[in-house]
């Protein structure tokens, strides 16, 4: 398997795993767990999982001080992106917020053009357009809903931070395994979550019973550990713009889960949206 094929497969897996967020997050919200605490357990358990993984591989945890600073920046980008997205849910429908979040492929492309002079050809531009139109069709909002300016600003901030994360990973040239790399990103992201909780006074809630721990573990394993691990591989092999466009598969996964697990209706509009997104993904792959 060549590097590009590996990168595209990794990008698709990253998107699919990230789309499983509803499986763990929605039940925890229903149990009264705050968004800050959901993020605390999501990141904390992921750190433990990566630590065990590294120990089993007998890989050295140590990094250089210069790399630690860069990992701290990446961790802040990723952690505060999650914080702002979850905060936006208090001001607007989560479906609207999740739809607006996927403006990050455009932001990523713009950042690469402005700061790194990357050329955006017609197929990439068309892929971005198809993905955004398709994602817009996936939104299940109420008619006539007024959007909160605060909510929009928060979710656009989340999208910008995620785009900055993708761009910075692309520029972070270091000889290190994806497992060790992602461990340090998540660790510093967890520190960001803890700092946020202390600042806003969000007290730690203890998870009650096996069920809540299973939901938290799922949230840590699939949409965090595996998703970020494969995203970092994708960025390394195919670059940040194609990797971000493949991320449009994330809401497709969420829609499928909502339909088959939470029994939400599957309409023609959703089907058209999925076809447009899959077309965008196929186009960006065939371009290579």
- Could you list the mean pLDDT of each consecutive 10-residue stretch along the chain, which spans 288 residues? 88 86 82 93 96 93 92 95 83 67 78 80 81 74 63 88 90 86 95 96 94 95 90 88 79 74 75 81 69
Q: Which pLDDT value is given to residue 203?
A: 94
Q: Which pLDDT value is given to residue 214?
A: 96
- The three-state DSSP-derived secondary structure of the chain is CCHHHHHHHHHHHHHHHHCCHHHHHHHHHHCCCCHHHHHHHHHHHHHHHHHHHHHHCCCCCCCCHHHHHHHHHHHHHHHHHHHHHHHHCCCCCHHHHHHHHCCHHHHHHHHHHHHHCCCCCHHHHHHHHHHHHHHHHHCCCCCCCCCCHHHHHHHHHHHHHHHHHHHHHHHCCCCCCHHHHHHHHHHHHHHHHHHHHHHHCCCCCCCCHHHHHHHHHHHHHHHHHHHHHHHHHHHHHHCHHHHHHHCCHHHHHHHHHHHHCCCCCCCHHHHHHHHHHHHHHHHHHHCC
Q: Which pLDDT value is given to residue 140?
A: 58
Give the predicted TM-score (pTM) of the model.
0.82
Domain that holds residue 25: 3-286
CA distance 130 to 282: 11
CA distance 275 to 98: 19
- Per-residue pLDDT tens digits for 92-138: 766 567 667 777 777 887 888 888 877 777 877 888 888 788 877 76
Q: Which pLDDT value is given to residue 206?
A: 95
- Per-residue pLDDT tens digits for 139-171: 655 555 556 788 888 988 998 998 899 899 888
Number of domains in the chain: 1
Q: Which pLDDT value is given to residue 99?
A: 67
Angle at 210 between CA 207 and CA 191, to 5 degrees: 40
């Amino acid at each position: 398997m060549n590097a590009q094929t590996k990168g595209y497969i990794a990008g698709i897996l990253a998107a699919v795993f990230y789309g499983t967020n509803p499986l763990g997050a929605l039940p925890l919200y229903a149990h009264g767990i705050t968004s800050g605490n959901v993020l605390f357990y999501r990141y904390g358990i992921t750190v433990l999982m990566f630590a065990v993984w590294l120990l089993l591989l007998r890989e050295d945890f140590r990094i250089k001080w210069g790399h630690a600073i860069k990992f701290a920046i990446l961790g802040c980008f990723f952690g505060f992106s999650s914080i702002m997205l979850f905060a936006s849910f208090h001001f607007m429908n989560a479906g609207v917020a999740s739809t607006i979040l996927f403006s990050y492929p455009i932001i990523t492309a713009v950042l690469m053009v402005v700061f790194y002079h990357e050329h955006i050809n017609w197929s990439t531009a068309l892929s971005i357009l198809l993905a955004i139109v398709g994602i817009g069709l996936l939104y299940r909002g109420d008619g006539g809903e007024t959007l909160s300016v605060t909510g929009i600003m928060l979710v656009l901030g989340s999208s910008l931070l995620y785009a900055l994360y993708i761009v910075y990973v692309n520029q972070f040239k270091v000889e290190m395994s994806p497992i060790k790399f992602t461990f340090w990103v998540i660790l510093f992201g967890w520190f960001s979550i803890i700092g946020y909780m202390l600042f806003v006074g969000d007290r730690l809630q203890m998870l009650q019973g096996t069920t809540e721990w299973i939901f938290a573990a799922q949230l840590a394993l699939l949409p965090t550990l595996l998703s970020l691990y494969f995203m970092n591989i994708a960025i390394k092999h195919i670059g940040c713009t194609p990797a971000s466009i493949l991320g449009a598969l994330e809401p497709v996964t969420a829609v499928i889960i909502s339909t088959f697990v939470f029994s939400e209706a599957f309409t023609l509009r959703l089907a058209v949206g999925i076809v447009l997104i899959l077309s965008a993904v196929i186009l960006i792959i065939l371009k290579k």
